[in-house]
Amino acid sequence: MSDITRDDVAHLARLARLAVSDAELDLFSGQIDAIVDTVSKVGEIPDDVPPTAQVVPQTNVLRPDETEPSLPRDVALAGAPAAEEGRFRVPRILGEEL
């Protein structure tokens, strides 16, 4: 059993910035527990198997250090929920940068 509890799901929701409701917590904790239980089948695989993270065959793909046009500022800001003084306006930020 994977034993994903309601508290675990609440913690995951916080980490993922999802303000889930109590009703969702009830629903999701059951579903996520069942899903994690199923996918935990990969645990059978021996540790000595090497991992595969991606299947691209090439290496050292590099871009030349040459400038390309940037977006016009009004285009960059066009989709913003709020903008001010040529910048993206966002609600106040709590805490220092990590």
Partner 1 sequence: MTGSELISLDAAELARRIHAREVSSVEVTRAHLERIEAVDGPAESGVHAFLHIDADGALAAAEAADRAIAEGTPASPLAGVPIALKDNLTTTDMPTTCASRILEGWRPPYDATVVARLRAAGLVPLGKTNLDEFAMGSSTENSAFGPSRNPWDLTRIPGGSGGGSSSAVAAGEAPLALGSDTGGSIRQPGAVTGTVGVKPTYGTVSRYGLVAFSSSLDQIGPCARSVLDAALLHEVIGGQDKNDQTSVGAPLPPVVEAAEAGARGDLAGVRIGVVTQFSGEGYQPGVLAAFTDAVRLLGELGAEVVEVSCPSFAYALPAYYLIAPSEASSNLARFDAMRYGLRVGDDGERASDEVMSLTREAGFGAEVKRRIMIGTHALSAGSYDALYGKAQKARTLIVRDFTAAFETCDVLISPTTPTTAFAIGERVDDPLAMYLADLCTIPSNLAGNAALSVPCGRSADDGLPVGLQVMAPALADDRAYRVAAAYEVARASVDTAPRIPELRALETSR
Partner 2 sequence: MTAVTNPGVESAPYTVEEVCEHFDPVLGLEVHVELNTATKMFCGCANRFGAEPNTNVCPVCLGLPGSLPRLNGTAVESAIKIGLALNCHVRERSGFARKNYFYPDMPKNFQISQYEDPIVFDGYLDVPLDDGSTWRVEIERAHMEEDTGKSLHIGGATGRIHGADHSLLDYNRSGVPLIEIVTKPILGAGVRAPEVARAYVTALRDVLRGLGVSDVRMDQGSMRCDANVSLMPKGSSTFGTRTETKNVNSLRSVERAVRYEMGRHAGVLLSGGSIRQETRHFDEQSGTTSPGRPKETFADYRFFPEPDLPPLEPSRDWVETLRAGLPERPWERRARIQTEWGLSDEELRDLVNADALDLVADTVDAGAPPEAARSWWVSYLAQQANTAGVTLPELAITPAQVARVVALVAEGTLTNKLARQVVDGVLAGEGEPDDVVAGRGLAVVSDESALTTAVDEALAAQPDIAEKIRAGKTKAAGAIVGAVMKATRGQADAARVQELVLERCR
Q: Give residues in contact with partner 1 (CB under 8 A).
A: 4, 8-9, 12-21, 24, 27-28, 31-32, 34-36, 38-47, 49-58, 61, 63, 71, 75-76, 78-82, 88, 90-94
Is 50 one of the binding residues for partner 2 (CB under 8 A)? no
Q: CB 36: neighbour CB atoms within 10 A?
A: 14
- C-alpha 2/C-alpha 36 separation (Å) is 6
Q: Report what 5 binds from partner 2, partner 1, none; CB cut-off 5-8 Å by kind.
A: none
| Least gap, CB of 50 to partner 1 (angstroms) | 6
Rounded least distance, CB 8 to partner 1, Å: 8
Q: Are the C-beta atoms of residues 37 and 43 closer than 8 Å to each other?
A: no
Give the CA distances from residue 24 to residues 20, 21, 54, 56, 88, in Å, rounded to whole numbers and listed in that order.
6, 5, 34, 38, 32
Least gap, CB of 28 to partner 2 (angstroms): 19
